[in-house]
Amino acid sequence: MESKKKRWKIEKKHACATSVTNDDAWKNKLLQKIHKLELAQQSAEADTKKIMAKNKALNKEVKHLRHLEQLRAMPMTGPPPSMPQDSRGQRTTVNGNCYNCGQQGHFSRYCPHSRVPRNAGVQYQSDTEVGQSFD
């Protein structure tokens, strides 16, 4: 029986030595897998940050476009804000005529007539006075 016990102890020692080497290989494989997973996680986090930044920029653009859409949907009431008014609420011009059509009562940007190219033959009072002085 002693020989069986000795043999069993020897076999147990060999089994332990074999399991230790197998444990080291198993640990190395496990560490490699963990390292690969950590790299994949870092890459996924970087991609997530990029996507979140793009998403934030797109959301900002959508808000801007919605704001513009709301502004366009609002009806224009009254004169434009840059148009001066007198005490009765009537539109007035500060220094005279429209630079587009030459008429009084509005600025060229609000001219009801189609755009006239510059120097297309529109005569202003100041132009005729200057022209007369050179005659």
CB 66 within 8 A of CB 87: no
The answer to whether residues 122 and 101 touch, using CB atoms and an 8 Å cutoff, is yes
54 vs 73, which has greater pLDDT? 54
Q: What is the pLDDT of residues 25-37, one digit of tens each?
A: 889 999 999 999 9
Q: What is the pLDDT of residues 6-17, one digit of tens each?
A: 777 667 666 555
The mean pLDDT of 64-76, rounded to a whole number, is 88
Question: Among 85, 112, 86, which residue's Cα sits nearest to residue 101?
Answer: 112
Rounded Cα distance, 87 and 89, in Å: 6
> What band does 85 get if pLDDT is binned at 50, 70 and 90?
low
Give residues with Cβ within 8 angstroms of 105, minimum separation 6.
91, 93, 98
Could you give the percent of the chain with pLDDT greater than 90?
31
